[in-house]
Amino acid sequence: MRCIVESSCSLLLLISACQFSLAQASSQTRTLVVNGRSGDARVVELNGRTYVDLETLARIAQGSLAFRGNQVTLALPASGTSAPPTESPVDHPAAQTGLSRDFRIAAAETLVEMREWASTTANAIQHGYPIAESWVADYRAKAAGSLSKASATASTESDHSALALLTTEFQNVETWNNNLLEARKNMDTAKYSMSSDALRNEPLSQKIINCGHFLVTMLGSGEFQDDLSCH
């Protein structure tokens, strides 16, 4: 078996092609450190030598492993002991300018929660269903919790700029929801049941819908953009 290792770090990798019985070997889980990165790995000791699964090694080192014919290629990133990779603007310029993956996921979840909140209220208003303050508060709490998570994951300048737009969208949904609940208390919601578009065509509704569509597109692109509908 042939093995090719591409790395600037010093690493001794031993691959044995011989067959051996598990009864002759001892194994245990240890903490393996590669290029400053650590993780749990199953270590096998046999005849005075130590063996580690290549896939585990690649995972811990955040490298890659490829198989082609009888060739195995293991590529490991350069050692990050001088500066953590996540903190180096030279090595990772995109991490400083674009939207981070964690924020994009959390922001998308927030949009889903806000949509559930708004659509449930709208459906109840349009069809004259009773609205319980408990479930309204529950939907709001879920959306607020997702927004808080998005805020916690914001790590780049773009993340924080996008978070401001997401927060405005949340505030607009909250205002819109409160206005509908107040109109229901005043028995002023009959106009919404007369037409399926009456509620959707209101200015604040349109603002929320347009901003929501824009935010979905922006999160998908991975780059921050701005839009008046989110202000």
Is the model's pLDDT at 177 over the cut of 50? yes
Same domain, yes or no: 72 and 111: no
Is the model's pLDDT at 127 over the cut of 90? no
Q: Which of 99, 98, 115 is CA-nearest to residue 211?
A: 115
Q: Give me the helix-helix angle, 101-127 and 203-221, nearest 10°.
A: 150
Give the pLDDT band of residue 73 (cuts 50, 70, 90).
low
Q: Looking at the domain assignment, is residue 84 inside a domain?
A: no
More confidently predicted of 42 and 78: 42
How much of the chain, in percent, has pLDDT values that exceed 70? 68
Q: Looking at the domain assignment, is residue 109 inside a domain?
A: yes
Per the prediction, the chain carries an average pLDDT of: 78
Same domain, yes or no: 210 and 155: yes
- Amino acid, res. 161: S
- Domain count along the chain: 2
What's the pLDDT score for residue 189? 81
Look at residues 15, 45, 79 and tell me which one is the last residue of a structural domain: 79
Question: What is the β-pairing status of strands 37-46 and 26-34?
Answer: antiparallel
What's the pLDDT score for residue 203? 94
Same domain, yes or no: 26 and 75: yes
Domain that holds residue 188: 93-230
Same domain, yes or no: 66 and 109: no
Same domain, yes or no: 128 and 47: no
More confidently predicted of 177 and 22: 177
Is the model's pLDDT at 84 over the cut of 60? no
More confidently predicted of 28 and 180: 180
Neighbours of 161 (CB within 10 A): 14
Averaged over 30-44, what is the pLDDT? 73
- Amino acid, res. 20: F
Q: Looking at the domain assignment, is residue 86 inside a domain?
A: no
What's the pLDDT score for residue 59? 77
Averaged over 21-29, what is the pLDDT? 54
CA distance between the termini of the chain: 61
Q: What is the value of pTM for the model shown? A: 0.58
Same domain, yes or no: 204 and 134: yes
